[in-house]
Structure 1
């Protein structure tokens, strides 16, 4: 695993209406790894992702993405990031291919739409409007849009939401392939701990706006033979951190 950080935050703070939601948060994501951000609902995962993307402005602290400062290099950073944050929004009356064409035009980038759609289990020849898509198909299209401009970093908030068991397995295999074959860095959140156990190299546990621990999955398995779920609930219940 690389010693170069694709994502790094230093004492990150975000306040809404005088209340600190993100509190002195430090995140370290090595280049070329899959990093799982785990936490209870309301812990701050989506807020952190929006801060990383530059969609929210930090109250204090620093964010570095691909060795660039988020606040001063946002346009360049966004060209190199693909993301799903919350529910993907599309042009409902257009097809999957047409939605991706608009995205590429906006990014001023040329991409191979048919191959990307095939990669996520959709077909470029399907001219059905997105309004007719199931939740799982919309999620696949969201992944396709995140990938079509060939980013160096993927930020995915609950990317397997709405997928059936076969779709979840296919998405797992895709994420691992992107990491192994394209050296892509992936930051992902999910409530499905067993799935994170399959894909993540490192996990960060966020509790009340603070990442309280970052640790490799191999170290988790050494100390918690039953796996990630036991480790996660140990931390959430105030257990000792791993060393």
Structure 2
């Protein structure tokens, strides 16, 4: 049975100072999956995420999210998305709890899940501590809490495990899988840690020089590359065979 598509871009173009950074970009993300978005530094991953979030406006092309035209339904779409893009920014003098309360107020969502969400991301008992005292790993956990607390339908996560120790990485891996399996979310995630993408992704999309050159299921990659995602990715970066 064919799955519902929740994110679709068609011939998306973004230019900066006359240079095309995103070029005829086509992406398809299916509902209830984890889409691993891979590419070298500077390939355009974060720019794509910003376009999907409405933080940047495309010069050409179309974005559809949850079946809605992004240009015409931006606010409605944003209410259905949780995100971490680049380094999470908080009100430093406020506590984790207060930062989440502000986010929920902005999203128009009741604040009944704050303590539970903090516990889920490994921040139990720190709700009153000012964020200025948080470590890098704690800030990343709070960023993930903020992304999921309003129970979005889609998560867009740009390097979400930055700053986490091995235990934290494993905890977030398990959380992401649980969010898809038990809370009906769809996740679009980028990471330089290919082994983590390999643990959780259903589909892999590879961007090179602003364009998607491959969208393929992880299972089909494993059939051709028994040693895993790293071999597939580096072969592709060196100009190897596409269409696994």
TM-score (norm: length of structure 1): 0.98
- Determine the structure 2 residue equivalent to 1:66: 66
Shift of 1:3: 2.0
2:50 aligns to what?
Answer: 50
Mapped pair 1:92 → 2:59: no
1:167-190 CA-to-partner distances (Å, cap 9, x unmatched) read: 000000000000000111000000
Measure the CA separation in 1 of the matches of 2:56 and 2:180.
Answer: 27
Q: Which residue of 2 aligns with 1:197?
A: 198
Large movers: runs of 4+ above 3 Å = none
Change in 2 beyond 3 A, CA 1:125/1:20: closer
Q: Is contact 1:220-1:231 (8 Å) kept? A: yes
Aligned-pair CA distance for 1:2:
5.1
**Cα separation, 2, equivalents of 1:12 and 1:144:** 30
* Cα distance in 2 between the residues matched to 1:87 and 1:2: 36
Q: Deviations over 1:12-70 (max 9, x none)?
A: 10000000000001000000100010000000000000000111000100000111111
The Cα shift of 1:126 comes to 3.7
Give the Cα separation in 1 of the matches to 2:201 and 2:5. 16
Aligned-partner Cα distance in 2 for 1:196–1:106: 31
SS of 1:27's equivalent in the other structure is strand
Secondary structure at the counterpart of residue 150 of structure 1: coil
- Residue 130 of structure 1 is matched in structure 2 by 131
- Structure 1 gap segments, 5+ residues each: none
Q: Which residue of 2 aligns with 1:225?
A: 226
* C-alpha contact 1:36 1:204 (8 A) present in aligned 2: yes
Matched residue SS, 2:231: helix
Give the aligned length: 243
* Change beyond 3 A, Cα 1:140–1:2: farther
1:125–1:165 CA distance, 2 compared to 1 (3 A):
closer
- The 1-side partners of 2:97 and 2:119 are apart by 11
The 3-state SS of whatever aligns with 1:123 is coil
SS at 2:216 equivalent:
strand
Q: How does 1:1-243 map to 2 (within 5 A)?
A: 3-111=3-111, 112-124=113-125, 126-243=127-244
CA distance in 2, matches of 1:237, 1:82: 34
Asked if 1 retains the 8 angstrom alpha-carbon contact of 2:96 and 2:126, the reply is no
Secondary structure, counterpart of 2:122 in structure 1 = coil
Contact 1:53–1:70 at 8 Å: present in 2 too? Answer: no
Secondary structure at the aligned position of 1:26 is classed as: strand
Measured after TM superposition, the shift of residue 125 of structure 1 is: 5.1
